[in-house]
Each structure stands twice: as C-alpha cells, then as structure tokens.
Structure 1
Amino acid sequence: MSYEFRDLLKQVGSGSHTSKALTRDEAAAATRMMLTQTATPAQIGAFMIAHRIKRPTVDELAGTLDAYAALGPTLPAIADGRHALVLSCPYDGRSRTAPVTPITALVLAAAGVPVVMHGGDRMPTKEGIPLIELWGQLGVDLRPHSLDQAHTLLNRTGLGLVYLPQHFPLAHGLVPYREQIGKRPPFATVELLWSPYAGPHTLVMGFVHPPTEEFAKGTFALRGQADWITIKGLEGSCDLARGRTAIVGVNHPGQTDRLLLHPRDYGLEGDDVELGDELTLSDRLLDILAGNTSELAKTALWNAGFYLWQGGVADSLPEGLAEAQTLLATGKALAKLEEFRQQSADIAQALTFSHS
C-alpha cells in the first residue's frame, strides 16, 4: 500500500463537505502513482470513483496532463515542420452514429495538413468502435508500429496515430479499472485534453457536456496550449453533426471565437446517420472515397470542409467545402488511403524482418 497515495485519496474522497481539491503537483503525483501502479488496485479504483463524484478541477486536470507528459509518449514533429491538427476523440468510440473521422483525416492529409490521432482498443464502459478498428477496416493495421515507426509513417503520409497499448502501456494498464467501476473516470476527460504530439499543432477535442468545454479552456490556459478547437460533436467526437447546429470554439493566440454553424445554410442539413452494422461501415466509407453520394457522404463533406477551413487550406467554410468536394471527387483522398495502407504495410514488413 502507498501511504502517500492514501493521503491524496483521503483528500478527494472525504465527502461533499470536507473533501479538498488537489494542487496541480499533487494531482500529478497521484496520476504518476496510478500509472505506475505504485498505488494498490483498491486505492486506484477508490480514487477514480471519488474523483468522479467530486469532479476534477482545472488544476487537477493540468496536473494529470503533466504526468502524462512525463511518463507518456510524444510523437516527434513532422520533419518539414508543418502545422498539424491533433484530433482528440473519446477513447470509448462510437456506438450510435456512423463516424467519418478517417475521411476527414484523409482529406486533410491529401491537402497537405498533417493529422495526429490517438486512442486504444475497445474501451469500457461504452465499448464503441475505436479509431484503431476504423483504420483496420480500411486496410490499415497500425497496431504493430513502434512510436518511431508511427513517426516514420507520419513523415511519409501526413497521418499518425498514437496507439495506447503499444505506445502508452502505463495508461492502457488502467483500462480494466474502467470496466470494474462501471463509470467513466476523469481520465476520460484528460484523454480529450491530451496532445501526444511535439510539433506545432492545433488540438481539436470533442465534447458532450458544456462543463467539459469550460474545464478544457482553463486547463489549456494553465498548460500553455494556445491553439485549440472544441467541438460539440457526435457522441462527443470531433465529427460535426448535421442534425443540429454545430457549436464550435476556436482559440488562437490573442483571439477566441464562438462559431454556430448551421448545415442548412450550406445545403447539408439532414439526420445524423446511424452506425448500423459495423461490418458494413468500411464499405460505406470506401463508397464516399469513390466519390459516390449518400447521406453519410454529406456528413463527410461537412466535416472535411470545416477542417480544411480550420487547417488553413481554405479561407472560408464555403471554400473548404468546395475543396473537400474536389479532393473526394478526383480520388485524391482515396489515393491518400492507398498510400497510407502501403506505407503502413511496408513499415510493418520491415518490423517483421528485423525480428526474424
């Protein structure tokens, strides 16, 4: 048992009248002890539940991110120094609506905007389809790559993914606790605020509940993350909805904007497409990349156009939508997928040869 951790646990778990928020340094220390499992399983589970009930503060979130920065992976900057977008989506994936995040990433990369993603396998309690499986369905197996190889892939294709089991096993080691406690701990919020990328970038995070966005603003300010975008997205993801107004926060040094984007103003209104059969999702995404029209293709266009605008490829949302349409219709996004597949396979093959 860790007596140091027990003291921190007593602070957050003493009840509504006597509990006390941790300082940033204390939160960092508590997170380190959980990641390294210096704390016992009973202590870790108790802390997760107590912290969820108490609700984390921005200082505590910043401290947890400090520990992630100290113990977790950092993908080096892309060699040519281009400004990237880091897409931070909930690790527990999607279970109700069809995701278009891979299409967004491919369109951005085809336009010259690097994209960094991060996540793990199926994650309790939602167990929705995660990014690693979405890419796998599209023929890109990112699981075997080391962090160096993920960086090589980023340099070659403009696309990179930090995969928790391979690149951050300490954090992956806490996943069973989520299943056992049956609730999302504050780590689920931290994952949205975390950027495992060293180069210049804008962090994009999805959220569901307005308090999460407020926590993000305060935490980013404490940690000096000046470039960020918040998206009230589908199931808390970075995917903009078409069935309602998109609520977006955009922050760059010296400027903060609140955007309310109405899909109907661009002829893209409609119901958000249900996930349906996961086994057919890859066919539906490939159909979009082939330039065919569908309701899901409209969702992909809405998102790709928005991110081309925010990524600096277009000067306005209408220009972004037009550019996204061109990249999809001309097959450039599909060509980027084929390049991503081939480069990923080449890197995996090199890994196999090095171990033989």
Structure 2
Amino acid sequence: MMINLLKEVARGKRGARDLTYEEAHQAADEILNMSATPAQIGAFFIAERIKMETVEELEAFTAVCRSQAFRSPIQEGLDCAGPYDGRKKTFIATFPTAFLLASAGLPVTLHGAASLPPKWGVTLQDLLQQIGIDAERLSQNQIIQAAESTGVLYVPAEQWCPPLKALRSIREELGMRTVLNTAEKLIDYSLSPYLVFGVYHNTVFDRMSKLVTNLKYKKALIVQGAEGSEDLFIERPTRTYLVENGEPQLHVVNPETYGLDTPLPEMTWTAELQISVAEDVLQGRGHMAFTNQVLLNGAVRLRLAGKVESVEEGLYTCKDLLDNGAPFELYRNWQAMMRSGIAQVGRSQ
C-alpha cells in the first residue's frame, strides 16, 4: 500500500497530488508503525516536503501520532507547542513563562526531545539536563506527580510517543523538516483546551488555523515567533492568529503598546546560559529585555485562557507574581520533584 501512496505524492511538481485524509492516515500508520521501509519513509517525507502538506495530511499524521502516544487529561490548561529542533539565536522565554503561568493558576504542558533537524538548536530537554533532570529516565507517574503538585508538565515526547524515537535516525539522516515537525507538536499529551503554537512563516497561518480548528481546541494562538517558536518578540511586533470557534483573526502584538519594547543584548546561547537567564528572570533580577519578554508572553497567554480580561491585566498579574517570588518558588519545587524522581530511578538500578 505504501508504494502506491508514494507514487501519488512523488510524481514531481506537476504530477503529484494531495492525499485524502484516509490515504494520509494509511501512510502515517505505515510510517509510525515502521511497516514501510526506511527508503519508502524517507522518500515520502521528501515528496511531502516538496509538494507541501495539506490540512488533511497534517491532521491525519497528528491523529496517528496521538493514537500511538500516552495521552491523559492530566491538567486542563495551556499546551505550549514550540519547535523540537530548538533555538540557536533567541531566549527560550516559554520555559520561565510556564512557571509564571502556573503560579497564576494556569497549568502548562511543555514537551520536546533531543535536538532535531533542520535547526539542531538548544531544546527544552537540553535545559532540563542542564539542571540535572533527565526526563527520559522518569516514569510517567513521576512526571505526572510533579505536574499535579506544581501545574507544570514536561513530556519527553519520544518516551510518551515511541514511534517518534523509532523514526529519529531517518529524520536525522534526511536533515530537513518533515511532516512530523508539525504533527509531533500537536499530540496534546494532557488534552489541553488551549494551545499556543509557533510557526516560522506567515504563509502557513491559514493552514494551521484550519488544522487547530479541526483538532477542536477551545482557543488557540498561532504565533510567528522567535525562530519559529511560540514566543512573542519583545524588540518588535509579532504577527499572531487567534483561532476561536473556527474563526481566525489576525492580531499583531506590539510590545511598544504596553511600554515593554526593549532592545535585546547580543548573546551566544547555550543551554547553560538559557537556564541562567531564565532563573534570573524568575528571581526578579533578569535583564529587562528578557523579563519583559516573559511578562508579555505570560500576559497574552493568560488572556488566551481567559484568566484575565485584558493583556494589561495580565501584565499586572504577572509582574506582581514575579515581584513576590511565587514563580521561582514553584520552579524550585518542580525541579526538586523531578530530581527526586531521577534519584529514585538511580536507587532502583
């Protein structure tokens, strides 16, 4: 069956056709179950990359990824879907923002894996390893316990969706973006009603709006953020699409509107520096640019989830929380629980 589907998408620029949802679902099933050969899988990924994936194809791959993953209504909150290929040039603001939001009463789900192509940047997993947390060694129960206590869930994607791990070597050899770069971000491990999703190009806004509508999120914010992430810029406006009730609306978030626009210092980002800056922000002593970026992202996400009536109210809420130290205390508690899980694993071996 796979060879027949491959012939349809790989006929060249003029001859290739889009797959129906059912056909794409069959292709995804054969790929994620590894019943297709590595050569067929690689050829399919490249053909789709050239042809460009349709909403139906993306939805089918997302559905199959979800069917192969551990998913549970662990916490009803916000899913932050950033790029699994990491960051090279910008601050991962979504990490400290998660603890700010959780301290404001909005549970947050983060997820990721070891770095992938095409960017090969610093990932959330790299940040956790920097603070002594190897999430891939933790059981689902240990990770869930930390989330239930703090409101922050970090999912090691390749453990909770094993086919992603099985396909890693093929993706690394190809060295380019594939349909999985989108689908893996939409597995929605904790069945979150709210989504913030990063994209690199504004040309995908319409497709992604239709996709998140089909996936039935209560409300989603698609962000053309820093390095294709879900993080709003702080030095310039960010184009976003707010999707609610199937209706997408363009919203340009301008930090200048809130008196937050700040030039960014030149940084050579490593996992160590990312953690250092994140912890400084959570302790209220961070560089103004990064503190403001976390405040703005926090405020917009609180507004998205209906925790505040306006971005301005969200900013007041977030600033008060940073000033009283609640996000950093929550971060320390989460870190201790995750590290405790690692220690238990070590003792059992």
TM-score computed with the length of structure 2 as normaliser:
0.93
Does 107-116 or 291-300 show the bigger shift?
291-300
AA aligned to 2:198 is G
Match in the other structure for 1:98: 91
Structure 1 residue 47 corresponds to structure 2 residue 68 = no
- Counterpart of 2:213 in structure 1 is 221
Answer yes or no: is the 8 Å Cα contact 1:107–1:304 preserved in 2.
yes
> 2:279 aligns to what?
286
**Aligned partner letter, 1:182:** G
CA contact (8 A) 2:133 2:342 kept: no
* 1:150 to partner: Cα distance: 2.3
Q: 1:339 aligns with which of 322, 325, 333?
A: 333
> Which residue number in structure 1 is paired with residue 291 of structure 2?
297
Cα pair distance change 1:211/1:229, threshold 3 Å:
same
Instruction: Tell me the distance in 2 between the aligned counterparts of 1:286 and 1:131.
Output: 14
What's 1:173 paired with? 166
Identity of aligned residues (%): 29
Write the letter of the residue equivalent to 1:7: N
**In structure 2, the residue corresponding to 1:244 is in which secondary structure?**
coil
How many residues align structurally?
Answer: 347
Per-residue CA shift, 1:179-200, capped at 9, x if unaligned?
22221112112234332223x4
Task: Return the alpha-carbon distance in structure 2 between the equivalents of residues 107 and 194 of structure 1.
Answer: 24
Q: SS of the counterpart of 1:314?
A: coil
One-letter amino acid of the structure 1 residue matched with residue 82 of structure 2? C
Shift of residue 140, structure 1, vs aligned partner: 4.2
| Structure 1 equivalent of residue 196 of structure 2 | 204
CA-to-aligned-CA distance 1:137-189 (integer Å, 9 cap, x gap): 34544232222332222212111122123222211222222222221112112
Within 1, Cα distance between the matches of 2:173 and 2:301? 37
Aligned 8 A contact 2:242 2:250 in 1: yes
Which residue of structure 2 lines up, in the alignment, with residue 259 of structure 1? 251
Which sits farther off after the overlay, 27-36 or 107-116? 27-36
> C-alpha deviations, 1:194-243, integer Å up to 9, x for none?
32223x42011011112322221222233333421111110111110012
- After superposition, residues 56-71 of structure 1 pair within 5 angstroms as 56-71=53-68
The C-alpha deviation readout for 1:76-108, integer Å capped at 9, x for no partner, is 333xxxx30000001001001121111110001
Deviation at 1:273, TM superposition (A): 4.8
**Any conservation in 2 of the 1:192–1:206 contact (CA below 8 Å)?**
no
1:18 maps to what in 2?
A: 15
SS at structure 1 position matched to 2:135: coil
Residues 140 and 310 of structure 1, relative CA distance in 2, 3 Å threshold: farther
Tell me what 2:30 maps to: 33
Where does residue 240 of structure 1 map in the other structure?
232
Cα separation, partners in 2 of 1:253 and 1:31, compared to 1, 3 Å = same
SS of the residue corresponding to residue 65 of structure 1 reads: helix
Structure 2, unaligned stretches of length 5 or more?
none
The 8 Å contact of residues 291 and 328 in structure 1, kept in 2 or not, is answered as yes
* 1:107 is the counterpart of 2:104: no
Letter in 2 for 1:113: L
1:323 and 2:317 correspond: yes
Show CA shifts across 1:46-71 (max 9, x none): 11101100111111111111111211
Structure-1 separation of matches of 2:264 and 2:36: 43
Q: Is the 8 A contact 1:242 1:269 kept in 2?
A: yes
Return the alpha-carbon distance in structure 1 between the equivalents of residues 286 and 216 of structure 2.
Answer: 42
| Distance in 1 (alpha carbons) for counterparts of 2:42 and 2:323 | 50
**In the alignment, residue 328 of structure 1 is paired with which amino acid?**
L
Alpha carbons 1:97, 1:274 under 8 Å: kept: no
Counterpart residue identity of residue 248, structure 1: T
What aligned pairs does 1:265-284 form with structure 2 within 5 A after superposition?
265-278=257-270, 279-284=272-277
Indicate whether 1:349 and 2:343 are aligned.
yes
1:131 pairs, out of 117, 124, 127, with: 124
Structure 1 letter corresponding to 2:244 = H
Contact 2:91/2:269 (8 A) holds in 1? no
Root mean square deviation of aligned Cα: 1.9
Select 1:84's aligned residue among 57, 77, 91.
77
- Do the aligned partners of 1:103 and 1:304 also contact (CA within 8 Å) in 2? no
Q: Which has the higher mean CA deviation after the structures are superposed, 107-116 or 292-301? A: 292-301
Q: Distance in 2 between matches of 1:302 and 1:267?
A: 10
Q: Does 1:152 align with 2:145?
A: yes
Q: Distance in 1 between matches of 2:262 and 2:189?
A: 35
- Contact 1:227 1:251 (C-alpha < 8 Å) held by counterparts: yes
Partner-residue secondary structure (3-state), 1:161: strand
- CA distance in 1: counterparts of 2:215 and 2:278, whole angstroms: 36
Q: Distance in 2 between matches of 1:209 and 1:277?
A: 23
**Secondary structure at 1:143 match in 2:** helix
The CA distance in 2 between the partners of 1:22 and 1:73, in whole Å, is: 27
